[in-house]
Structure 1
Amino acid sequence: MKERAIVRFSILIFWTFFWGLSVADKIIPDVHNLWVGKDFFALFVKFFGSLGLKNPIFATSALAVVSALEVINFVFYLLAIINFSKKKGNIAEKWFFRAVFASMILFSLFSIADQVFGDRFQLLEHGLFWLILIASWFLFKYVTNSEDHAISFKNSRSFKFTVLIGFVLTIITSISIVDFSNKTFSNVDSPVTGEEVASGVFKFNFPFLADKLVWEKTINTFKDNHPELKINYIYTGPSELNSKKKTHLLLYVFTEKNK
C-alpha cells in the first residue's frame, strides 16, 4: 500500500470510529461491563434548566436532533471508507467532503450551544475538533503524490518483531483491563459506605462508575442503617478535593439525632 493511501485510510478510520462510538454512546448511556456511557439526557436537562427551560421536551428534542445529525455523520464516513476500500477514490473523496462539512456544521452548533450554556471547556474541545476537521480534509485532499513510496512489510524482521511485541502488549493490557473491570464493576450498583469525619457529618467517596442510582441507594442504605439519625443537609464537595483521588463525587451528609 502506498504511503498516501495509508494516511488517507487512517484518517477515514479515525473519524468513522469517532462518530460510530459517539452514536453508540447515545444508544447505550448506562454503565456496562467494559463500557461507561454518558447520560446525555440528564446533561441536556441541566443545560436547558440553567436557561429556565425546565420542560423535558426541550432536552428531548435537542438530543434527538443531535443524535440524528451524528448518525448522518457516521453514515457519510462509513460510505467514504467503504468506497475507499473498493478503490473508488473519487467517490470516497466526495463522501468524505460531505462528512467533513456535516461534522463542521455539527461542531459549529455545539460551539454555539457551549457559549449559550456557558460551558467553556466544551467550547475549547469542540473548537479544536473543528480545526482538526479542516486539517484532516487538507491532508486527505492535498497530501502530495510525489515520492509516494510503496510500503511493504513482507519478510521484514523488524515488522515481525514489532507485531510480536504489539501482540504481547495487547494481551497483557487486555487481561489487565478485564481484571480491573471484574474487580470494580460492582461499583455500578453497590451503595457507598460513609465515613464520619465530624460529629454528625458523614463523607461519601463515590467511585467513577457510580451514577444517580448508586447515589439513591447509598442514601437509602444510610437511612436504614442509621434510623436514629435525621438527614438535614446534603452537600457535594468541590472538585478540587478530588483532583488526586480516583473519586467521581464527594458527598457530605449532615445529620442530627432524632428527637
Structure 2
Amino acid sequence: MTPISKALIWLDRKLDFVVILYLFLGLFWLLNGFDKFFNGENIINFNGYATKAAIVDMNGTVAYTFQPTEPNGWFGVNRDDKTIGYFARLGLPSELALGSLYIVGAIEIILGVAFLSILFYKPLLPKQLENALEANKAFATQTVHRLSFKASSLLFVAFMVMDILFGDRTELWEHGTFLLLTAFAYRLYIDHEQIEAVEEAQISSSI
C-alpha cells in the first residue's frame, strides 16, 4: 500500500461526518448570531467587471456607467435595515424590529456555543471540571445538546412563519432546507449516542 493510500485511509477514519455536521451547526449559529450585531456598509463598486450598464455618446464614447452597491465588511448584510424593512411591511415599529433582531442574535450565539461544546467541552476542560460537568445530569445525559437541536428546529420554524408573513419566499426555502438538515443531523446524533452506549455496555460487561 502506497503512503498516499495510507494517508487517505487514515484521513477517512479520522473525519467523522457527524462531527462535521456539529461543526457546521455551531459555526452557522455563532456567525449568524454575531451578524445580527455587526452591520456591513454598502459601498459603490467602481470596478469594470461590476458595471451593470453604460450610456454612450454619439461618438461611441462611454459617458456614464451604472455601478452597483455591494456590502463591505466582515458581516456583509445590514441586518438592522433589512429587519426594519420587513417589520414595516406589517406596520410594526423599528424598535420592535431591532429588539427582536438582537434577541434572536443572542439566542443564536448561545446555540452556536452549545453545538461547539459537543466537540470541545471535554478535551478543553481540566479533569476536575470535566468530572463536575459529568455529575451534572444536564450534561451527563446530553440534555443540553438535545435541547440545542430542538431549539434550532423551533427557531427555524419561527423564521419560516415570519418569512411567510413578510412574503420572502427565498428565505422561506432556505430556512426550510436548514430545518431538514437540522433534523437529519439530530437523527445522526441520536444514532451516534446509541452506538456509543452499546459499546460502553459491551466493554463494561467484558471487564
1:26 aligns with 2:36: yes
Which of 20, 23, 28 is equivalent to 1:10? Answer: 20
Aligned partner of residue 44 in structure 1, secondary structure: helix
Which residue is equivalent to 2:190?
Answer: 141
Rounded to whole Å, the distance in 2 between the matches of 1:133 and 1:28 is: 25
Superposition pairs for residues 1-259 of structure 1, below 5 Å?
Answer: 3=13, 6-31=16-41, 35-53=74-92, 55-83=93-121, 85=123, 91=140, 93-143=142-192
Aligned in 2, Cα 1:74/1:25: closer, same or farther, shift over 3 Å?
Answer: same
Contact 1:4/1:145 (<8 A) preserved: no
CA RMSD of aligned residues (A): 3.1
Rounded to whole Å, the distance in 2 between the matches of 1:92 and 1:8 is: 18
Instruction: Letter of the 1:23 partner, please give it.
Output: G
Instruction: Letter of the 1:35 partner, please give it.
Output: W
Give aligned pairs, total: 145
Which residue is equivalent to 2:201?
Answer: none
Which residue is equivalent to 2:5?
Answer: none
Instruction: Letter of the 1:22 partner, please give it.
Output: N
Contact 2:34/2:105 (<8 A) preserved: no
Aligned in 2, Cα 1:18/1:84: closer, same or farther, shift over 3 Å?
Answer: farther
* Unpaired runs of at least 5, structure 1: 147-259
Q: Is the deviation greater in 8-17 or in 115-124?
A: 8-17
User: Displacement of 1:85 after TM fit?
Assistant: 4.1
TM-score normalised by the chain length of structure 2: 0.59
TM-score normalised by the chain length of structure 1: 0.48
Rounded to whole Å, the distance in 2 between the matches of 1:34 and 1:119 is: 24
Aligned partner of residue 174 in structure 2, secondary structure: helix
* Unpaired runs of at least 5, structure 2: 1-9, 42-70, 197-207
Aligned partner of residue 27 in structure 1, secondary structure: coil
Rounded to whole Å, the distance in 1 between the matches of 2:110 and 2:90 is: 29
User: Displacement of 1:83 after TM fit?
Assistant: 3.3
